[in-house]
A and B are shown apart, each in its own frame.
Chain A
């Protein structure tokens, strides 16, 4: 089990050939079952050295199966079903220059050339004069120069080439070309496919091509006529197509003006525009959202209507991007190749895993290769080919701080089952709610009445430790200290009147003389200044050693009155000490 290669334990290294001699980029790589035997092949438009050695290569497993020379640099390559013939074998379309070359069974089948563009009429006139020998090459050059400066319609390739020539070569060039009509041709910048009328995997697809002249064409798969033409504000560089031509479709195009435009059916102008802060280098649609990689080393997510969802910063510049779509597992994510020899997997803005590669990856393609659905194919800057297979047991979890409910929230609590008693009670409560409420209110009122009665009685007989009589408003609390048998009893007496002092007061105690002995059971209290607390101390001795306690009643009396002003009951603690005598 080779987990040393930095796959995060999720990929099996199926194949790596560092000198496969494959120089390409993601739009020129596709996977398709080209022989109808259930085994997918890898189709690559190889750029060669950039000027020579352009090839269409097909791989099966680890081996190169076939290669054929391409006439021009490929700008994009797609496999698509162009007819309903059985067995269902897709054709391969290679876009290069102004043409789309269609291969069937890996043999050239059809060549589609983009319609020529409008030619400047002044330019045409000038060349006409040159042909008739009315003007010499130098005059021709001057006139073309002036047309180039002010014309709305740009000059043709031929005129531009002519203008770049040295004076000596001009004559020959005019002689060589003057007989041919002037043509202005655009080139294809990107290519995609769009299902014609069904969403089936093997449904017939139209080709969608973007051109340097800022147009997008949809081609009929069988007749290769233009079904639809749409215009963009700038030249497209990358595109994603979804939907069906006959029903509803959406073409998301990244353009050279740094914007992303969304084209819809029955509109020849973009419906939405996403303005980016820097140029897009990768465009992948995941479900209904578009993920864009930008030159400022960022990955951004947008809704299909162009609302920005998130932006995340990457560790290095992006070299390429591709979708990772595993329908059998319901998994969709984006693979991002970085210049620091890493390929990162993102689901939305969350990094799921990182693959370390021995070289910078220039193209990524994920899909079914051979018989394996989860195959990742990468080519590197040095021309290497790398194949990794997703482990059957691999799981990707985003352990990130994405906002949302915490995990604990979805953990179910272990709520005990409702018992029969509980259910019965609930039923009873539901049925007799009114009566129960009434009974409760009645009892509450009764209790309040009883409490009020007791309070009034206490007040009337001055049983409370607070006297509210107007002449002598007093408050008293008692503190017992000690463990026994001797206790210290402190009575804090306070005159609560506003300014009238209280005089002629005395304190007396009532207690069980068989239990307690008190030094002075009757005490006179000095004049009480309002507000101050007067501690009156005395000591009590417990005479019993049986561990029992009793209440001592304290009365505050006024001389000449038989009724106490207030009463306090002191709950004596149990004596814990030994009798000394």
Chain B
């Protein structure tokens, strides 16, 4: 960390990062982001997102601005308009929805082949969410089904999460924070 960063840290100024939160509807994107906010700022009711919403939360050294996109089919064409701004991607998968794993894969492939993403070394964090649900797929199985091993030119990481309890989230966010720092310095 450079001197400026340290200084900024002492002063409470943090680096701003734009993160896109993508994934099918009902995968738990809003629930995850809500859980990452400080306790007093967390919403109680979570309803399906319409269009998208902008949320902010902070980690030890970064200030995240998250574009929480709606995953509903009719809003998914909005995603690509924010690819340029995004400096990192959080891709949430409902590990219990085996039937729609192909749809998640299709949307991921479309994302990875988009001209605004394809040639950038943008870090992607996968949350294999809803691991608490009985017969949910393991994160290994999810990464197999999504063929994540084929992503060679971008740093990625997958963690199994339970957004209701917040389990697995810190691990993922730490990884993302490290990635962003290595890219920046």
Chain A residues in contact with chain B, CB under 8 A? 1, 12-15, 61-63, 328, 369-373, 387, 389, 391-393
A-binding segment of B82-90, B92-100, B169-177: B92-100
Of residues 62 through 121 on chain B, the ones whose CB sits less than 8 Å from some CB of chain A are 73-74, 76-77, 97-103, 106-107, 109-110
Please tell me if the beta carbons of A392 and B99 are within 8 angstroms of each other in the complex.
Answer: no
Please tell me if the beta carbons of B76 and A392 are within 8 angstroms of each other in the complex.
Answer: yes
CA distance A389 to B104 in the complex (A): 12
Give the residue of A1, A15, A393 whose beta carbon is less than 8 angstroms from that of B99: A15
- Whether a CB of chain A sits under 8 angstroms from the CB of B25 is yes
CA distance A373 to B26 in the complex (A): 14
CA distance A135 to B114 in the complex (A): 89
CA distance A389 to B74 in the complex (A): 15
**Knowing A61-B97, A392-B73, A392-B76 touch, does A372 contact B109 (C-beta < 8 A)?**
no
Please tell me if the beta carbons of A371 and B109 are within 8 angstroms of each other in the complex.
Answer: no
7 nearest CB pairs, A to B:
A12-B102, A61-B99, A62-B98, A14-B99, A14-B102, A370-B99, A62-B99
Interface centre among B26, B77, B97, B103 (most CB of A within 10 A): B103
CA distance A371 to B96 in the complex (A): 13
- Please indicate the chain A residues that have their CB under 8 angstroms from the CB of B101 in the complex: 14
- Please indicate the chain B residues that have their CB under 8 angstroms from the CB of A14 in the complex: 99-103
CA distance A372 to B101 in the complex (A): 12
Please tell me if the beta carbons of A389 and B98 are within 8 angstroms of each other in the complex.
Answer: no
- Please indicate the chain B residues that have their CB under 8 angstroms from the CB of A15 in the complex: 98-99
- Closest residue of chain A to B24 (Cβ to Cβ) is A371
Task: Show 7 residue pairs from A and B whose CB-CB distance is below 8 angstroms, ordered by the A residue.
Answer: A12-B103, A14-B103, A328-B73, A371-B24, A389-B100, A392-B106, A392-B107
Please tell me if the beta carbons of B99 and A12 are within 8 angstroms of each other in the complex.
Answer: no
Please tell me if the beta carbons of B106 and A372 are within 8 angstroms of each other in the complex.
Answer: no
- Closest residue of chain B to A388 (Cβ to Cβ) is B102
Please tell me if the beta carbons of A61 and B103 are within 8 angstroms of each other in the complex.
Answer: no
B119 to chain A, nearest CB (A): 20
Mask, B128-160, CB within 8 Å of A = 1, is: 000000010000000000000000000000000
A284 to chain B, nearest CB (A): 25
B179 to chain A, nearest CB (A): 27
- Please indicate the chain B residues that have their CB under 8 angstroms from the CB of A373 in the complex: 73
- Please indicate the chain B residues that have their CB under 8 angstroms from the CB of A369 in the complex: 99
- Closest residue of chain A to B113 (Cβ to Cβ) is A1
Please tell me if the beta carbons of A13 and B102 are within 8 angstroms of each other in the complex.
Answer: yes
- Closest residue of chain A to B27 (Cβ to Cβ) is A371
B20 to chain A, nearest CB (A): 18
- Please indicate the chain B residues that have their CB under 8 angstroms from the CB of A1 in the complex: 106, 109
**Knowing A61-B97, A370-B97 touch, does A389 contact B73 (C-beta < 8 A)?**
no
